[in-house]
A and B are shown apart, each in its own frame.
Chain A
């Protein structure tokens, strides 16, 4: 039985027919069939209900004939039943399925970054001019003992204690876990190249490392997720850091699913699974049902790599995040990565994405303080992710207590993503979240690498400028330095959790 869809199209395609030369580029570029050619009248026709608002057509149109707008159709205003809610119910009534989406939580929850203000020096303490003075962003990730023994050899101090290996990065910004499979090869290659060029790290996600990307292994964080895709001895030994993925901010407690149609030959080889089979990541690791099990996996990985690689454990920020993080540290992890509830994904059930987890700002503050209370914060590195939008967010994250941040969404935006949230369809018109060879060519790895390096450079410069203003010339003096933050418009509970004073309060 055919039903006519009651969904109201979200976007309207405005086509200026005076300008349109019927080159049909929009038709070829659109991954969602929102443009069609009518041969009878020799005109382009818009199918508004297919449009996802990704702006690819308007970008590509040689005569600037296309404008994409939000559909101005107004429903009866209702504070409880807004258009989005009605739209979702309609969609579920028509399909009977769970709603899926890509990217991160898009609901208007508080953004704590925007309620934190930074400090600067005036008179009593000179600000430092980053154009004249050296500014240092170098950071080391991994396990650090409380102290080292020093001995004197031939009148010179020498280390008696050998440190567990640490990984050096030139800026406290890493590329977040994004798998080959969710993203195209060209995007993965660009992230790897940019990480190498700038002296930072990219993260393979759970999709394994493409054989051509092994050359970037020194700049790779190789993930071991519940599906164990692409995990073998060579893979583990190639990465700079191994990360056990327990969860991710967009879908805490939920596994992953790369549909078989996306598992093409190359992806199948990289992941170590038969071509065309669904790549299912179970919700929990089937060998981790407790913190003791996690400890076993951490040490199994250390054994497999001869104790030469720091082990990171990535979790989603959930209500008990501070004690979980503490458990992870005591289980032997060298790095704890925490992904906030705004963290993005290639596909997640909307109900999970929009309702589960914690803002990373609060999670970070709670974890950092807990680890300090236990006297172990200095022994491990803390990486946070899930909504880092700009250099100010990076600075605030470090001042709250992070060693470094992961950026995923921001990196994808740098290479063309317009946040249409349709990654899960595999139809990405920008060629980012798709395996369609016709579309993946749209990302030119050289150009994308340049854009990513530019982004890292721009943010790093902004960080040094801001640090200089605070009278700080090295990033380690910002870490956990919450006295350089003040809250604005926050209540006392929020201030207490963040460990910051309200704007207007002095020391």
Chain B
């Protein structure tokens, strides 16, 4: 049975809307705000994909990895659960709560697990616990037909599917969840019918990413990542951006600000104008990691346990607006999505291409 694998070839999404709300004090708030915000940009999606990332939703299981799964059938669930039992202690396994709505039909089987890797399995693989998680996620996505991991972080989760984002949010009962960081995405895929796993956000460990754009450097980015054992099974831009971020931050140890300078580096002529020591850093990053330059139009929000980052391509070919009010930081594709939920922001601005907006949660984000 090859159904899932064949439709995973998602092609490049083009349009899209996204919105993100961060409480920088780490205080939890309900999912209704993000639903109101993303619903404002209804016309930027086409009903073929919507999704959310929520951070801080599982405080009682914060030490476990929350695995959100999407199954096409019972068989794929059995195979996956066998795989999980061999590698993890499973604390809880349950259906992801949903409500039936008219707009969402024919959903796959949605399941979640709170799990911990078995210490001896991690040891056998001779890597960190995170490496082991990544490996297992890739194993399921690549080799178990009809099964797909949609999120794999701690105290966070991704909820996504085929439909308009506001309908997806209602379907997943997001108004019942409390998070300190919410990210939403509405998709306008241009090539193929939507597939539940192909919606955004794309999640790996605690990282989630939503994206609007089409990366013309995809081939270069992908072949570079393959050298570091990332397998791009989804064939989407979002996937390569996610892996690039994972490689740069987790494996190469770059700070977030410099990671952004790899994805959207300054022009050579601007680097040349900098003081030599500053120029040396940026020049070296560009020379070494030039294959990870994301060329072509994109805007992204990257979510992680300590905050969120928004970034535009270096010549700003996609919309991106930011605002802040008190402890809240807002990011969206359009200003309307912010003004719908925050009437009088302290500051609202359009970040320049390649200049990241970074919001951190004070103290430890896993509150």
Interface residues in chain A, defined as those with a beta carbon under 8 Å from any beta carbon in chain B: 121, 123-126, 128, 133-134, 136, 138, 140, 144-150, 156-159, 163, 166, 372, 375, 377-378, 399, 470-474, 476-484, 506-507
Q: CB of B218 within 8 A of chain A?
A: yes
Identify B214's interface contact among A125, A133, A157, CB under 8 A. Answer: A125
Are B216 and A150 in contact (CB-based, < 8 A)?
no
Q: CA–CA, A372 to B291, complex, Å?
A: 13
Taking CB atoms, residues of chain B closer than 8 Å to A159 are: 280-281, 284
Map CB proximity to A onto B1-26 as digits: 1 under 8 Å, 0 otherwise. Answer: 00000000101101000000000000
Q: CA–CA, A507 to B235, complex, Å?
A: 8
Name A's interface SS: loop
Q: CA–CA, A37 to B269, complex, Å?
A: 60
Taking CB atoms, residues of chain B closer than 8 Å to A156 are: 277-278
Taking CB atoms, residues of chain A closer than 8 Å to B235 are: 507
Are A144 and B296 in contact (CB-based, < 8 A)?
no
Map CB proximity to A onto B217-260 as digits: 1 under 8 Å, 0 otherwise. Answer: 11110011011100000010000000000000001111101100
Beyond A125-B12, A133-B315, A166-B287, is A474–B254 a contact (Cβ under 8 Å)? no
Distance between A500 CB and nearest chain B CB, rounded to angstroms: 10
Q: CB of B297 within 8 A of chain A?
A: yes
Map CB proximity to A onto B153-179 as digits: 1 under 8 Å, 0 otherwise. Answer: 000000000000000000000000000
Q: CA–CA, A90 to B7, complex, Å?
A: 64
Q: CA–CA, A472 to B297, complex, Å?
A: 9
Taking CB atoms, residues of chain B closer than 8 Å to A477 are: 216-217, 220, 290, 293, 295-296
Distance between B317 CB and nearest chain A CB, rounded to angstroms: 6
Quick one: closest A residue to B218, CB to CB?
A483
Are A378 and B224 in contact (CB-based, < 8 A)?
yes
Q: CA–CA, A128 to B267, complex, Å?
A: 15
Are A483 and B278 in contact (CB-based, < 8 A)?
no
Taking CB atoms, residues of chain A closer than 8 Å to B290 are: 474, 476-477, 479
Q: CA–CA, A484 to B295, complex, Å?
A: 13
Are B227 and A481 in contact (CB-based, < 8 A)?
no
Taking CB atoms, residues of chain A closer than 8 Å to B273 are: none
Are A372 and B227 in contact (CB-based, < 8 A)?
yes
Taking CB atoms, residues of chain B closer than 8 Å to A480 are: 219-220, 223-224, 291
Are A473 and B278 in contact (CB-based, < 8 A)?
no
Distance between B154 CB and nearest chain A CB, rounded to angstroms: 26
Identify A134's interface contact among B9, B269, B285, CB under 8 A. Answer: B269
Beyond A157-B255, A478-B220, A480-B220, is A145–B288 a contact (Cβ under 8 Å)? yes
Q: CA–CA, A424 to B214, complex, Å?
A: 52
Are B287 and A140 in contact (CB-based, < 8 A)?
yes
Are A375 and B228 in contact (CB-based, < 8 A)?
yes
Identify A126's interface contact among B252, B280, B317, CB under 8 A. Answer: B317
Beyond A125-B297, A159-B281, A375-B228, is A136–B267 a contact (Cβ under 8 Å)? yes
Q: CB of B344 within 8 A of chain A?
A: no
Are A472 and B228 in contact (CB-based, < 8 A)?
no
Rank and list the top 5 A-B pairs by shortest CB-CB distance, nearest first.
A477-B217, A483-B219, A476-B290, A477-B295, A481-B219
Q: CA–CA, A146 to B248, complex, Å?
A: 11
Taking CB atoms, residues of chain B closer than 8 Å to A478 are: 217, 220
Distance between B111 CB and nearest chain A CB, rounded to angstroms: 30
Quick one: closest B residue to A152, CB to CB?
B255
Distance between B231 CB and nearest chain A CB, rounded to angstroms: 13
Beyond A378-B224, A473-B315, is A148–B284 a contact (Cβ under 8 Å)? yes
Q: CA–CA, A149 to B255, complex, Å?
A: 11
Distance between A47 CB and nearest chain B CB, rounded to angstroms: 56
Q: CB of B268 within 8 A of chain A?
A: yes
Q: CA–CA, A250 to B323, complex, Å?
A: 63
Within 8 A of A (CB), among B284-330: 284-288, 290-291, 293, 295-297, 314-315, 317
Taking CB atoms, residues of chain A closer than 8 Å to B191 are: 506-507
**Looking at A125, A138, A147, A159, which has the most chain B CB atoms within 10 Å of its CB?**
A125
Taking CB atoms, residues of chain B closer than 8 Å to A473 are: 295, 314-315
Distance between A404 CB and nearest chain B CB, rounded to angstroms: 13
Identify B216's interface contact among A121, A123, A138, A149, CB under 8 A. Answer: A121
Q: CB of B143 within 8 A of chain A?
A: no
The 8 sampled A-B contact pairs (Cβ below 8 Å) are: A144-B288, A372-B223, A372-B227, A474-B290, A477-B296, A479-B220, A480-B220, A481-B220
Q: CA–CA, A159 to B278, complex, Å?
A: 9
Are B297 and A126 in contact (CB-based, < 8 A)?
yes
Q: CA–CA, A479 to B148, complex, Å?
A: 32
Taking CB atoms, residues of chain B closer than 8 Å to A128 are: 315
Distance between A181 CB and nearest chain B CB, rounded to angstroms: 36
Are A125 and B14 in contact (CB-based, < 8 A)?
yes
Distance between B296 CB and nearest chain A CB, rounded to angstroms: 5
Distance between B44 CB and nearest chain A CB, rounded to angstroms: 14
Q: CB of B190 within 8 A of chain A?
A: yes
Beyond A126-B317, A145-B288, A147-B288, is A476–B277 a contact (Cβ under 8 Å)? no
Are B258 and A157 in contact (CB-based, < 8 A)?
yes
Beyond A121-B216, A472-B295, A477-B216, is A163–B284 a contact (Cβ under 8 Å)? yes
Are A136 and B268 in contact (CB-based, < 8 A)?
yes
Are A507 and B281 in contact (CB-based, < 8 A)?
no
Q: CA–CA, A157 to B284, complex, Å?
A: 12
Distance between B273 CB and nearest chain A CB, rounded to angstroms: 13
